[in-house]
Amino acid sequence: MTAELIDGVAIAGRVRADVAVGVEKLVADTGVTPGLATVLVGENAASQTYVRAKRKACAEVGIQSFGHELPATSTQQEVEALVRDLNADARVHGILVQLPLPDGLDEEAVLAAISIEKDVDGFHPINIGKLGMKGRDPLFVPCTPDGCMRLLEEAGAQFSGANAVVLGRSNIVGLPAAMLLLKRDATLTVCHSRTKDLPTVCRRADILIAAVGWGEMVKGDWVKPGAHVIDVGINNKWLEHPADREFTCAASGEIFTAHRQDESEKGGRKRAGYLDEKSGAAYSREHLPEGQSAEGLVKLFRKYKLVGDVDFEAVKEVAGHITPVPGGVGPMTIAQLLSNTLRGARAAAGK
């Protein structure tokens, strides 16, 4: 058996197309253009990338985006004051505070400050609380778990009475996904670092959602034949690790500095601090081999590929349906965010 691929790119594309049509109709009927405000505190490179992707996606479907960037030194009061201003801004129908926040900021208090009518990320305590209660529906559901459910629906998964296993209990993915499965009458098991005999537990699953951040942890013999497997993980797998090359290492704790190829034409910003995972040392520019350029070293460090929490090649021979990485859950997260923002705008316009 070879599993049928659950194409997150194609499914997300359909969601985005529906959102674009909905935005156009809302503007025509009411004059209201949906608006999403993003709040980025600090200069976390990954967070900056995610925010840019979300703003680009908004533009593609006709949603206005309002970017707000605060320094990492911002106080709790300053961050919450910005959120309150956005709550009062009629142009804004969704507020997304990019996580994680810098150390010293109370994440829970910031999320609680967001109006539940604009909580398009679904992390407000009231929305999360309703998600966990029988017979109650939140205004918004966290985007990644919601995207997982849409993928399962598109793949024809039957929820009622199914054995569902969620690997991971994070507030962002694992726990909300578990609550969504319960609402669909699945029989649920949530696994974590203390779960005993994990392979046996996983083999009972008709639906398996892996969200632990451990590359290729789920092996082929962990999976029930015909199961629906959703892989939320995104991990780097070295194809050629620098420690496997005959490079001279710097002393432990030192770093190298090199220009990134994709930034060399954007002001020549620098990146530092690649740690050798095997020896605990790091490579420095001063320790490059003769004839080896800094650019070449950066290329070497990029000899990896993205993998999920599931050993895709092995599991696809057992499962009935499976998401790839990349191209599975990731595209759905932003698609659901756009859908939530449109829904918030419709509610504000009385539609």
Our CA angle for 328, 333, 339, nearest 5°, is 125
121 in catalytic set:
yes
What is the C-alpha separation between 249 and 343, in angstroms, rounded? 54
What is the Rg, in whole angstroms, of the alpha carbon atoms belonging to the chain?
A: 22
The distance of Cα 76 from the centroid of its chain, to the nearest Å, equals 25
| Alpha helix stretches (DSSP H) within the chain | 8-30, 45-61, 76-88, 107-113, 125-131, 143-154, 174-183, 198-203, 294-301, 312-315, 329-348
What are 59's two structure tokens? 């533009």
What are 333's two structure tokens? 């997260």
Are the C-beta atoms of residues 197 and 221 closer than 8 Å to each other? no
Handedness of CA 196, 198, 201, 205 (dihedral sign): positive
**Closest among 114, 126, 112, 109 to 88, alpha carbons compared:** 114
54 in catalytic set:
yes
Are the C-beta atoms of residues 56 and 335 closer than 8 Å to each other? no
**Closest among 305, 306, 287, 307 to 297, alpha carbons compared:** 287
Q: Which of 64, 98, 183, 316 is catalytic?
A: 98
Those residues whose C-beta lies under 8 Å from the C-beta of residue 98, and which sit 6 or more positions away, are 38, 39, 40, 41, 44, 47, 50, 51
Q: Which of 119, 121, 206, 309 is catalytic?
A: 121
98 in catalytic set:
yes
Are the C-beta atoms of residues 87 and 66 closer than 8 Å to each other? no
Are the C-beta atoms of residues 247 and 285 closer than 8 Å to each other? no
What is the C-alpha separation between 125 and 319, in angstroms, rounded? 36
Residues with active-site annotation: 54, 98, 121
